[in-house]
Structure formats: C-alpha cells, structure tokens
Amino acid sequence: MAWEQRGNGRYYYRKDWHDGTCRSVYLGSGETAQLIATCEYWRRIEEEQAREVEQTARAEMAAIDAAVAGLGELTRTLTTAVLLTNGLHQHKGQWRRKREHGRSTH
C-alpha cells in the first residue's frame, strides 16, 4: 500500500503481483483513502502480532518436543541397561533370555 503523488493530488494505491509483474490498483483519495490506509495499517499490525504469537507457540512446541525426545532416549537407555543387567540380549530387535550352556532344549 502506498500513497502516490500524481500532479497536485495524493492517491492511495495497492500493488498486486501476478506472474512476476506488478500492477497498481487505485483505492481512492482524500478522506476515503485515508480511512482505507488506516484500516490497512491496523490489519498489517494485527497480522504481524499473530505471526509473532504463532512463532512463539512453535518455539515452545519445539522445546517440548525436544524434551520429550530426550526423555524417550533416556527411557530407552535405562530399559536397555535393566534388560542387559537381567541377562537378556537382543536378537533381531527382540529381547530374549540368553541360553544356558549345557541345558537341553527338549
């Protein structure tokens, strides 16, 4: 949005981009244009504030996700330690008891 001076008058235009080319769209002059400009200004302020709130929320969610991922990794490590301590091992991703040598399986 921009005020443009053309001749002796001030006019309010919006710039629209289509396929890489810019087009000026006349929105008005005088009090009407001033009202449109004020509304557009506050709309941009509200959009900026909404973006900031969204970015803050995303940053908070990213921090929570990182904490949960860390907790998951800690849980896996502790589980592995307990299972290994209790004599189990992993075979193709499954936890199994170790075979005792000298015992028959029949």
Per-residue model confidence as pLDDT tens digits over 9-42: 888 988 888 888 989 888 888 898 899 889 989 9
d(CA 14, CA 37): 10
**Is 16 inside any structural domain?**
yes
Q: Which helix (H) or strand (E) holds 36?
A: helix 30-85
pLDDT digits (tens, 9 = 90+) for 41-55: 999 999 999 999 999
* Confidence category of residue 98, pLDDT binned at 50, 70, 90: confident
Structural domains of the chain, count? 1
d(CA 102, CA 106): 12
Question: Which pLDDT score is estimated for 21?
Answer: 92
**Is 101 inside any structural domain?**
no
């053309």: which residue's tokens? 6
84: containing domain: 2-89
pLDDT digits (tens, 9 = 90+) for 51-91: 999 999 999 999 999 999 999 999 999 999 999 999 899 88
**Is 53 inside any structural domain?**
yes
**Is 94 inside any structural domain?**
no
**Is 95 inside any structural domain?**
no
**Is 39 inside any structural domain?**
yes
**Is 100 inside any structural domain?**
no
